Every structure is written in structure tokens, then in C-alpha cells.
Amino acid sequence: MVIPSVSLSHGELTLRPIHMRDARPLERELMLNRSWLRQWEATNPGTFNHLDTKAAVRSLLSYGRSGGGLPLVMVVEGQIVGQINVSGITYGSLSSASIGYWVAERFAGRGLTTIAVALVTDYCMRVLGLHRIEICIRPENSASLRVVQKLGYRFEGRRDRYIHINGDWRDHDCFALCVEDLPDGLLTRYLTGKTNTP
């Protein structure tokens, strides 16, 4: 299934599809935020990992065209401030996907990532028709953990040595929501303060 082009927004935040022209501003943000992001970034085991933003964007675009992913940039006042990617989109009996994200350090703590995850969760469930969305986070990543806690994503367990990050295999905690948890949508549930219990 080809995913339709999407632009989502709430307040000052807009999410839009990634483009090749975003490679340079993304690289600038990633370089400015190296110490903030490096400890959470996926790496390839056994290889030298260097920043190749053009190749990463090409890969995301290819994955998006195949229907397996939805790569988006987070934009505030015309400036790219982060990314949110839906990956592993599967239909049929599984009907699920995973969400990953990052935001520039100077924009952290403003609720942008929380809104982005809520918008994307609603889009995946209401437009793409997915049943379950999961987010896997390193247990040490307190900023990302706050996002899923604020949104009421439920903890489903730990995946030992799940993703290769910053040079080693790292444990991740898995959080998820199903469409039945969100009769009015996640953004509405969050904005009305009803996210304590899914």
C-alpha cells in the first residue's frame, strides 16, 4: 500500500514528509545536537558509523515509497527541529507499526514531541487503519520516557539487547496503544488530560 502524502499540524508544530532538500538542514541539526543525540542513535554493528544524511534521507524515502514507513520532519516556524518516523508498517492480521523520534535539544521540554507522537498515532490508526502502535525506548532515556508516560502508552515489557545503539546492543522498554484504547483519538485524549490510564 502506498501511503498518501501527509501534513499534520497542531499549534506551532507541523509534521510533513521528508524531502531530499531536507538533508542539509537535518545534518546541521544533527551536528549541533551530537552530544544530545549520540547516546540514543542506532548504529550498525561492526562498521564505522559516520553521519551521511543524504544516504539516510534516500533510504527513508525509499522505505516510504514501499509503504513500509512514514518519514516525517518536525517543523516550527519554518525550521526543521526534529524527525518522527513510523517504521515496520504492516497490514493484515498484525496491522501495526513502530514510532521513533528525536528533537533538537533547544526545543526539548516544549511538548513538541508529545504532540508529534499523538498526531502520528492518530494518523496511523484513523487514516492508515492500523490497530496497534508501539514505541521502544532505552530505559535510561528519561526525556523519551516522559513522552510515552504523558500520552498513556502502556508498558509491555523489556526487550533485551534489542537495538544496536552508540556502539553496543541496548535494552529497550516497549510501550504500546491499540485503537480500542483511543475512541476519541490520542491527541484529544492528551489535550483533555485523560491519558493516565489507557
pLDDT, tens digit (0-9, with 9 covering 90-100), for 49-65: 566 888 889 989 988 89
CA dihedral for 175, 198, 109, 103, sign (positive or negative): positive
Per-residue pLDDT at 179 exceeds 50: yes
What pLDDT score was predicted for residue 41?
74
Q: For the chain, give the percent of residues with pLDDT over 90.
A: 70
End-to-end alpha carbon distance in the chain: 29
- Mean pLDDT of the 84-110 span: 95
- Mean pLDDT of the 83-99 span: 96
What pLDDT score was predicted for residue 72?
96
Per-residue pLDDT at 4 exceeds 70: no
Name the one residue in this structure whose C-alpha cell is 541539526: 29
What structural domains does the chain harbor? 8-191 (3.40.630.30)
If you ran DSSP here, which 8-state letter would residue 30 be given?
H
User: Which residue would you say has higher pLDDT here, 162 or 122?
Assistant: 122
Q: Residue 137 and residue 36: Cα distance in Å, rounded?
A: 15
If you ran DSSP here, which 8-state letter would residue 153 be given?
P
CB 80 within 8 A of CB 71: no
Exposure string over 102-139, b if 16+ CB within 10 A, otherwise e: bbbeebbeebbbbbbbbbbbbbbbeebebbbbbbbbbe
pLDDT confidence tier of residue 45, bands split at 50, 70 and 90: confident
What mean pLDDT value characterizes the chain?
90
Per-residue pLDDT at 197 exceeds 50: no
pLDDT, tens digit (0-9, with 9 covering 90-100), for 164-175: 887 889 889 999
In order of 35, 36, 167, the CA distances from 39 in angstroms are 7, 7, 9
pLDDT, tens digit (0-9, with 9 covering 90-100), for 133-145: 999 999 999 999 9
Q: For the chain, give the percent of residues with pLDDT over 70.
A: 91
CB 104 within 8 A of CB 29: yes
Per-residue pLDDT at 48 exceeds 60: no
Per-residue pLDDT at 40 exceeds 70: no
